[in-house]
Amino acid sequence: PLTFKLTLTANETLEAGSYWVTLACLIDGCVAGGDTIKATVSTQPSLDLRARVFTGPSEGLALSTSYGYTCIDGSISWSPSTYSSESSGYGSWIYKYKVEGPLIGPLCVKFSHSDDYTGPSGKWVKQVCVLSEDLWQVAWQQDLVDEDSATYIEVELGELTGEVNVAFRLLSSSPSSWAASWSWSKPPYIYVKDKVRVEGLRSGETVRLYDAATNELIGQATCPDGQSSVVIETTPSSLSPCRRCYFEFQLLDGSTWTSPSVTVYGGDVWELVN
């Protein structure tokens, strides 16, 4: 299916209010399809979310010929099977999350996890991996015996470009007849720590980001000459991964516009529509 974003700008003579707008697809001058949407015309600015680091999709994969595994969002399990020999009980099973981007800084993943493994150490490891530009790297790992149930772990994955996949992997490097299971918070938080991009600005305009609960200023930036966007670097760990915030814009005409409160994730791209 064809997916696209469409921006409609109202004529200056159109009065504020709600209107029905028909969108039609023309092929060789003939209407091939159409739809009607309700649009609101406002004389006030608005704030739109243009991009978020992670919105999906996700996928489970088995990198082994072993029987008796399950790999679903938030969990990987393996158990011995009467149809598999001990030698086929090793390999790896991954669950990966595709990062849409764009990335404006180092990528992070935050998750809690647990397991009910009762076997010996040295048989299974749990890993967080990242695949970027065909390079597969392990960012974090522990023996499955080690238990961090209900503990949130933040792993910095580094500066990444292109298509990025973050994967949770359960791996055995030697034959094992011990059942293994690992679960993590679903979905994990994937974000760029303490950075937000704001677009749709004019040179000299200033944007400030406030905590909606405390009205504390957590970051600000002024749009430089010749640019239309800024990256706000917030106070340490203020967006790790998210919080409820509002934006305040100091516009060139001297007026100030404050947005409604919104949930802001580190790495978000927001646009001022004015």
The sheet that has 69-72: what strands, in order across it?
Answer: 69-72, 75-78, 180-184, 113-114
Domain that holds residue 238: 193-273
Last residue of a domain, one of 191, 216, 237: 191
Give the predicted TM-score (pTM) of the model: 0.76
Listed residues 158, 191, 224: the one ending a domain: 191
Q: Which of 263, 214, 271, 269 is nearest to 242 (CA)?
A: 263
Same domain, 167 and 215: no
On whether both 63 and 185 belong to a single domain, the answer is: yes
Q: Indicate whether 230 belongs to any domain.
A: yes
Short-list 103, 165, 119, CA closest to 139: 165
Which CATH number covers residue 220?
2.60.40
**Mean pLDDT per 10-residue section of the chain, whose length is 274 residues:** 61 75 75 73 83 80 54 59 41 76 86 84 86 80 76 83 81 68 84 96 97 98 96 96 97 95 96 90
